[in-house]
Structure 1
């Protein structure tokens, strides 16, 4: 049996068994969060709107809804648009161990398929849950440490094609063979080179997962129409794993990917800062340290990183003087200085104006980078030492995978307020208790 067949078989086992209540509740939270961060993108992430405009030239009109607007596009293009909106602010959920942002990809795929199918064969929450679990499992199987072959790829994009294809396929009601072909057709489009994140000066990193949702949705529709693809796309001689990671999965890795008793998605976090996840433990440490010093007392800031985090610190001059907001969010030195100056990081203060904030820029001149940590699964500790004439203080903070419910609700309301949504509390309660495809279609319009 091919690995593609085994993946589909594992998904069917989970689907037949049904979602545990705690997973169902968690998926609802993550969908609510993804919707919430999509709405302020109209105001705070012009790159998403430019990308949608560029992609939809000549194809405006269709059945695919774009969250927060009256736009209608063909389903695959709508999937691109919705993922671009959800990821553009760098505020989306993430599984730190898998190094994947799952829900922006799968939610967009599910909505696109639902808009094209009157009879939805899988409900929204289940489809997103199963797609998310596949994405997280794919990440767990390769055990990414941020070095070696896995460091070359945005895993949310590379594996996102597969997750989106399965999610859309479940909503469309594809049978097992059709789902296998959808995986093969998704593989034929797979991409995700990481240079837009490692290099500087690019805005495109804001939208990279959108290509995956678009391609995965297209794969599902092609499979429904009877287009076949090699069943060996995952584990053949030129299959996905050997092409992108140098070797096929071994037995241990296959068992991690195919295990169905536990839920890898349970370790997925909802972000509390709109910046690259690698910056979060350092932001957390900076916010603790700023309580102990005035800015004019600081002589030096020593940031202790690992090899992977160093990619977000070098070249230091560029990272300390970002030219785009995307560069700022992907810079650990800049985000540390920003947190020390402002005492918080949120949509209202982390804007284009931050790029010329002299207090932040002057503070970055005091930053020194040291490699104090080894690469491990997940994200590094937030290791910061502040040196003053009176002495030094070191703070090391850890980011935990679970996000408190109250913090998620607070973020939802703040995002809605930023987007000028009326009665965000009411919207929160409606989505929390009545979440389905049709409820999403009644979301507030940000752009008419």
Structure 2
């Protein structure tokens, strides 16, 4: 079933809402990629790819950079870059993110294999999401440890690679098995507790998946992929082509771990309801599900620590009224008022919230005010889920605000237009907008 879906899916098979969701995913993810090129993590990943993943008979470009490397190296660097600013989409049952590895892999494979049709880029994106998210659901149901997105993303990107290379059914089966076996089974709760640049292992998942497809083409074996072929997987994979997980993704309004989004929303709405500023608040309490308590870094030293925190972005939201890329890096990490609220914040597990996770990510926020009063929010869920979707206008504005500081207003506008009509564009045309380094884009403005 999976192999047939990978190779036989055609653009005409995609319902209109699936096409639209894929366009939105490309736009949102590549906006995050642009913003993330300003991070030290992205610089290191791109330099690493240029040094150690040299271009051979197949080559692809580093996004917002232009240097040529192997397709596995390009996928690694772009996925690591997107992971560097935690603003990309996700799917609740996966407890993670498909786009940050699928989209870099699809772009790298299309460029390396001279695939020019934008329709095919969109199809590979849908294939990667549909396969990868199903693998995630099976993995979470059958494996006790909570692994980062790259662990199952390696299988989704192997599916993208198999499609791009035109592998036969036997080779595709091997590619999925290689990707599953070598996918990084990284301990997600380790990095939420002690945040570093390793994040969701998306770079490694993308690299493994792309390499797996090329290995399978050359005769390397690795089947079966248990998360695709085990009896427990049948229920998920039987719905390929009828249930479109592509349309079930959430879009993040803030560039932080999704677990912090309900507290941020609750805090902003509670302050607005009572006409409060941060100066009126003596202390903040957050009640939520158990995993939120691992995001306890109150005085982050790096952007990674700020993104994998609940106290810091909630405090930043109360002080600045918003949370964007500038609220998770730079001078704000030393802002005394943000740090006052962050260091004094109390995180409490709520049993009902824990029971609802991961289907729902619920939080309640309370303020102890300087005048002695206590005010509380209702139980709150994050914006951006399908039930509380951001509007297309909001998503486009997010893209512009993330991409324009790096790519320039003119190039950002051209990218927005091209990505929202990707099936009518050429991949080389898109890459011409995605690959020049920021200095060249700024000079062209």
With the length of structure 2 as denominator, give the TM-score of the two structures: 0.87
Structure 2 equivalent of residue 288 of structure 1: 269
RMSD in angstroms over aligned alpha carbons? 2.5
1:250-289 mapped onto 2 (5 Å cutoff): 250=232, 253-260=233-240, 261-289=242-270
Q: The residue matched to 2:376 in structure 1 has which SS?
A: strand
Report the counterpart of residue 200 of structure 1 in structure 2.
194
| Contact 1:10 1:258 survives alignment (8 Å) | no
State the partner residue of 1:133. Answer: 130
Q: Structure 1 unaligned segments of length 5 or more: list them.
A: 1-5, 242-247, 314-318
CA–CA separation in structure 2 for the residues paired with 1:35 and 1:9: 29
Q: Who is 1:7 aligned against?
A: 2
Match of 2:73 in 1: 77
1:153-173 Cα deviation digits (max 9, x unpaired): 10x211011000101110111
What TM-score do you get using the length of structure 1 for normalisation? 0.86
Alignment of 1:2-401 (within 5 A): 6-12=1-7, 14-15=9-10, 18-43=13-38, 45-62=39-56, 63-118=59-114, 123-142=120-139, 149=143, 151-154=145-148, 156-193=149-186, 194=188, 196-200=190-194, 202-205=196-199, 208-230=201-223, 232-234=224-226, 250=232, 253-260=233-240, 261-291=242-272, 292=274, 293-313=276-296, 319-372=297-350, 373-375=353-355, 376-388=357-369, 389-399=372-382, 400-401=385-386
Change (3 A) 1:374 1:407: same
Partner of 1:97, secondary structure, is helix
1:406 to 379, 393, 401: 393
Equivalent position of 1:442 in the other structure: 432
What is the alpha-carbon distance in structure 2 between the residues aligned to residue 249 and residue 378 of structure 1?
23
Unaligned runs of 5+ in 2: 441-445
Count of aligned residue pairs for this structure pair: 419
Larger mean CA deviation between 259-268 and 348-357 belongs to 348-357
Asked if the contact 2:287–2:348 (Cα under 8 Å) also holds between the matched residues in 1, the reply is yes
Distance across 2 between alignment mates of 1:435 and 1:330: 36
The structure-2 alpha-carbon separation of the partners of 1:289 and 1:25, relative to structure 1 and needing over 3 Å to count, comes to same
How far off is 1:195 after superposition? 5.0
Distance between the aligned counterparts of 2:41 and 2:261, measured in 1? 23
| Pairwise CA distance, 1:379 | 4.5
Asked whether the 8 Å contact 2:415–2:430 carries over to 1, the reply is: no
Residues 138 and 233 from structure 1, CA distance in 2 versus in 1: closer, same or farther, beyond 3 angstroms?
Answer: closer
